[in-house]
Amino acid sequence: MTPESSSSDDEFEIIPTSPLRRLEKRIEKVEGGSYSSEVNRLIEQVVDLIKSNQKIIDSSIKANNDLIGEVSKLPKKMDDLILEMREFMKLLKISAEEEEVSNVSKEVMTPLVDKLSELINQNKRDSETNQAVLTTLGIIEKRLKRFYAPAPSPGMPMRAPSSEYRV
């Protein structure tokens, strides 16, 4: 048989088989699911990352709660201080008004009384500021809890992150 005598419908081409063998092996790997272990490892790493993120969030919330507790003690202490200062001011005024005190003592006491009045007013402003900080910390705590709910138990669907934090 000569090449001219073969029918024109049968075409033959000589190609190397090594690339075909490699493709066959890759197809066998894909069909055999050999990549599933890599996917499982990736999923485990993502779950570990989520768990560590949740621990960080939990510790942030705990620290925030501790801070709120400490700051919430301040208004009571400030009120106690203001009460003590008022009592001290009354004693100073009473001692300044007594007849036995000389005019020089009154002149010395007046600036002191004025300064103490300024301190009392400053303490009131500080108390109001601390109250505003407490309110803000409460809002932050609520937002943190809303954004970072506890990790769902196995089998429970996970909540999708808000669009601000979506990767």
- Write out the E strands in 26-81: none
The predicted structure's pLDDT at residue 97: 72
Question: What's the number of domains the chain is made of?
Answer: 1
In a domain, 28, yes or no: no
The predicted structure's pLDDT at residue 147: 78
Q: In whole numbers, what is the pLDDT of the chain averaged over residues?
A: 78
Q: Which residue has the higher pLDDT, 131 or 98?
A: 131
74 is in which domain, residue-wise? Answer: 40-147
Res 77 pLDDT > 80: yes
> What distances in angstroms separate CA 124 from CA 25, 81, 118, one per listed residue?
79, 10, 10
Percentage of the chain beyond pLDDT 70 is 72
Confidence grade of residue 163 (pLDDT, cut at 50, 70, 90): very low
In a domain, 159, yes or no: no
Res 2 pLDDT > 80: no
Phi then psi dihedrals of residue 157, to 5 deg: -70, 145
pTM of structure:
0.39
